Amino acid sequence: MIARALLLAAALTAASSAAVLAQSQDSLTNGSFASRNVIATPVLRANVQVSSDLVRIGDVIDNAGSAAQIAIYRAPDLGTTGTLPVAQVLNTLRAHHVIGVDTRDLKEISVTRLARTLGGKDIETQIAQALERRNGLGDAANLSLTFDRDPGDIRLDAGFSGAMQPAIVRYDSRNGRFDVTLEIANDNGGAAAKLRFTGTVIETVEAAVLARNVERNEILKSSDVVVERRPKAEVGTDAAVRDRAVGMQARRQLRAGQAIKTADLAKPDLVQRDQNVTLIYEAPGLYLTMRGKALDNGTEGDAVSVMNLQSKRTVTGTVTGRGQVSITPPVSRLPQTSDATSSLGAAQPASIALATVSSSVAPKTE
């Protein structure tokens, strides 16, 4: 009897322990499950940034749960920021059964719509590159565009982050018209943005342009010439370079703002009509100088007529310097003797007809 009683007590004790253990395990399991199903408190954000045209609950608060994708407001314009009173936001959230929001004592929140801005200069550069060397056009850097409508700065959703690529390029060389469509890919997988631009294009070149009116035969100074870009069709292939234009002489009257052509310029006259000049006669062993009066204008290397002021005869010589004209007889007609006196005798060509010279060793030549 005593042994049976002990066995029964042991059995009851074991059963009791098992029940307690099972209850403990069940309590732990249920507690863990309950903790996993606790919803974190939604917290209001002070600054909101969106990349689409809609503001969703998940943009406005953290821990939005299943309501995160519900749209509640339209976003501001591209690249701009707007504000919302917190009281208004809470009323909107309650309408979608989002309650218990931690406002962090905020009075209002700001909403910024992200955007990509395409600068007007960047657009112009891209179109010029698309038109480069098309139907006779030159380098993109030399193309000047005029748009039918000024593109200004264009804003796109931030998702359009791809490079501007020319999708359609048309150019009519007869009237200079262009029609270009640029395409920009969307990183979010949406359709690409297409931007169409029309207008006219001309090729330009750097040209030397007059800063003031210039009279015929006037010498151009550095301050007289500036560099500007002008249409290639206006300047042609004869455009003068500024560095070479300065110091040159105008062949004709030129007006301010006129693009200078090389045909408009000449080397400056070293001898001018009615100017007193020095006549120089050279022969082997002989160098004579005398005074004369120029009857023509001439630059270096030009043949001009000069009146010998002593003999009043006209001779022809070559301009060799400022106010200097050289007269050199042909080698075949030079006297063979080395004597200076005989070289100016009867063997001298009559066309030279020089007067008494400044050299003390030279006799009269007439």
- Residue 274's pLDDT band (boundaries 50, 70, 90)? confident
- Mean pLDDT of the 61-79 span: 92
CA separation for the pair 58, 50 (Å, rounded): 10
Strands, sheet with 47-50, edge to edge from the N-terminal-most edge strand: 47-50, 108-113, 81-85
CA separation for the pair 32, 76 (Å, rounded): 44
Q: Is the pLDDT of residue 74 over 70?
A: yes
User: Could you give the angle at the alpha carbon of 156 between the alpha carbons of 153 and 162, nearest 5°?
Assistant: 105
Cβ-contact 168, 180 below 8 angstroms: yes
Quick one: pLDDT at residue 332?
53
How far is the CA of 359 from the CAs of 23, 289, 339, in angstroms?
Answer: 142, 7, 15
φ and ψ of 209, to 5 deg: -120, 140
User: Tens of pLDDT along 295-346?
Assistant: 988 888 889 899 988 888 898 999 888 889 998 776 554 454 444 343 333 3
Q: Is the pLDDT of residue 190 over 60?
A: yes
Side-chain half-sphere exposure of 334, counting CA atoms within 13 A? 17
Q: Is the pLDDT of residue 229 over 70?
A: yes
- Mean pLDDT of the 111-133 span: 95
Which pTM was predicted?
0.58
Q: Which of 240, 246, 242 is nearest to 260 (CA)?
A: 240
Q: Is the pLDDT of residue 239 over 50?
A: yes
Query: Measured between alpha carbons, how far apart are the two ends of the chain, in Å?
Result: 180
Is the model more confident about 320 or about 7? 320
Q: What is the mean pLDDT of the chain?
A: 81
Q: Is the pLDDT of residue 289 over 90?
A: no
- Residue 235's pLDDT band (boundaries 50, 70, 90)? confident
| In the block, residue with structure tokens 């009559």 | 350
